[in-house]
Amino acid sequence: MTSTTEHYTETLAMLSEGSVHRRFDPFLDIPWDDPDFAVRPDDERWILPTADPFGAHPWYRALPREQQIRIGMWRQANVAKVGLQFENILIRGLMQHVFTLPNGSPEFRYSTHEAAEECNHTQMFQEVVNRIGMDVPGMNRLTRVLAPIIPLVPIAFPTWFFVMVLAGEEPIDFAQKAILRSDGEMHPMITRVMQIHVAEEARHISFAHEYVEHHAPKLSPISRFALSVLTPITMRVALWLIAVPPRRFRREFDVPAAVFKDVYWRRPESRRQLTHGFADVRMLVEKAGLMNPAARLIWKALRIDGPPARYRSQPA
């Protein structure tokens, strides 16, 4: 066993131990029936914080309080729905990957731990949607159509699948950490759900980073080049599919097209979030040998280029 393989195996074992000894249950560790967790349509804690790209826009801040609350509730419910839909796709892909693993694979145990935790996350997110009580769609229609296909990717190109995992997890993790670090007061149900999600996603993101960094250098030159080009495209497409609210949101709240374009991603503040949100991934692709002249051009063309993070979860 080489030192690199030994480090990889030890890291996965450490992540597995973390899943055993530091885990959460969505119905034991969240006080859903606490009176402070009650959902009221006049609760100003539903107003989006300025750390949220939509909450920071002057158009939103100028709306009447009642409308700000309604939009905040709808957005938090839809973010939760998107989260559980993404986790569902991830679970199916992980199980497909596990099905193909040989005996003795160090990835079997942790992949299964992660799938179990993601199942808990789907329950947690759906409970949020149910309690808010708004019939939100989650992802846009195209993503829901593609959802049965994505979990098949591990059969042919498992390393790309774990890039897809990061494409979904990194932007959500970045956004939630930014909100948790902000000074704004949020509804405590949302705060608690975010705290649990961020804590467990740290392990999941670490696993995906370790997987790509360990396996990408072993790919054939053609496959490695293909992955280097696919990575920035996957990041940008996934961000559009996951982060941008569906058309129903714009219709229901009569959001001007110019405002929507500002938020996604024309305003300087939004552009900075777009760049900073992928700093960890840029660090990974440098380490994994997936940054070459062609890939660098694509990162730049998609406007998600920038300096890599110096360390994981470096604050923007």
Helix ranges restricted to H, 140-246:
141-146, 153-156, 158-181, 188-215, 221-243
Residue 37: pLDDT above 70? yes
Distance CA 137, CA 153 (A): 25
Find where tokens 């993404």 sit. 86
pTM above 0.85, yes or no: yes
Render pLDDT for 44-80 as a digit per residue (tens, 0 to 9).
Answer: 999 999 888 889 899 999 999 999 999 999 999 999 9
Average pLDDT, the chain: 93
Distance CA 22, CA 289 (A): 33
Residue 46 has what DSSP assignment?
G
Find where tokens 């998600």 sit. 304
Distance CA 53, CA 273 (A): 8
Task: Region of 254 please: left (phi>0), alpha (psi -120 to 50) or beta.
Answer: left
Q: Is the CB of residue 231 less than 8 Å from the CB of residue 165? A: no
Query: Cα 185–78–284 angle (5° rounding)?
Result: 85
Q: What is the mean pLDDT of residues 92-103?
A: 96
Distance CA 73, CA 63 (A): 15
User: What residues have CB less than 8 Å from 313, skipping those under 6 apart?
Assistant: 173, 177, 202, 280
pLDDT of residue 159: 98
Residue 182 has what DSSP assignment?
S
Residue 281 tokens read as 């991934």
* Lowest-confidence pick of 88-92, 97-101, 122-126, 308-312: 308-312
How far out from the chain centre does Cα 31 lie? Answer: 24
Render pLDDT for 113-126 as a digit per residue (tens, 0 to 9).
Answer: 999 999 999 999 99
Render pLDDT for 196-213 as a digit per residue (tens, 0 to 9).
Answer: 999 999 999 999 999 999
Side-chain-side CA neighbours of 76 within 13 Å: the count stands at 28
> Which candidate, 177, 81, 74, places its Cα nearest to that of 124?
81
Segment holding 49, helix H or strand E: none
φ/ψ (deg, to 5) at 142: -60, -45
- Which domains are present in the chain? 47-302 (1.10.620.20)
> Residue 314: which pLDDT band, with cuts at 50, 70 and 90?
low
Segment holding 118, helix H or strand E: helix 107-132
Of the chain, the percentage scoring pLDDT greater than 90 comes to 79
Residue 176: pLDDT above 80? yes
